[in-house]
Amino acid sequence: MSPLNRVAHSVVAMSLALLFAASLPALAQEPPAEGAPASGMGSGCDAFNWPLDVERQAFENPSIEQVASGASRGSLKDQAFALTLQPDASVDYALAPAKKSKKADTPRFGGILSFAAPEKNGSFQVTLSSEGWIDVVQNGAALDSAGHSGAKDCPGLRKSVRFKIGDAPVVLQISGAPAATIKVAIRAVE
């Protein structure tokens, strides 16, 4: 290859490298597709895949309703409350939680709530204020999530999981929480 061709190839290669490097920030800022599982938890309140302003506002309310684990809540509908939990080992779950805590040396808490069938079938999202695992049980089986979103560094919000819920009673199970109280919001997905 002639010296002139080597210079031309080097210039082309450098130009392509610069174009590729310049496009990386734009690619990194692209949000994930609606409902697509994130590759991991994002950072900050803008990391959620869907808006959670309603939940954040409810969780900031100093007079949020206090609910004890084991309560029956009527039909499944939009609501927010602070759930008092028990040590995981003492909770009588409808089904064993789908995920075991990775931090076995740290005390973990859980709880259950019973709901009558929703007034209208559809997708609901369950949002937690802090770390914890969410299981929704209907007709004796755990429902698969229809989408999930989380953020590590969003004060007062940690994760939100969507479920398609049919016309039958529902048991909500929270497990693996780091404290004896967690705020929970349930909202129909529009």
pLDDT at 104: 64
Rounded mean pLDDT for each run of 10 residues along the chain, 190 residues in total: 44 38 35 39 78 94 97 96 96 90 78 96 96 96 94 92 97 96 95
What is the distance between the alpha carbons of residues 31 and 51, in angstroms, rounded to a whole number? Answer: 13
Q: Give the residue from 104, 66, 103 showing the smallest Cα distance to 82.
A: 66
Residue whose structure tokens are 């129909």: 188
Pick from 122, 189, 133, 187: which is nearest to 159 by CA?
A: 133
Residue 44: phi, psi to the nearest 5? 85, 165
Query: Any residues with CB less than 8 A from the CB of 4 and at least 6 apart, and which?
Result: none
pLDDT of 44 reads: 78
Q: What is the pLDDT of residue 31?
A: 39
Predicted TM-score (pTM) of the model is: 0.76
d(CA 26, CA 52): 25
- Would you state the pLDDT for residue 185? 98
Buried b / exposed e across 67-105, counting CB within 10 Å, b at 16+? bebeeebeebeeebbebbbbebeebebbeebeeebeeee
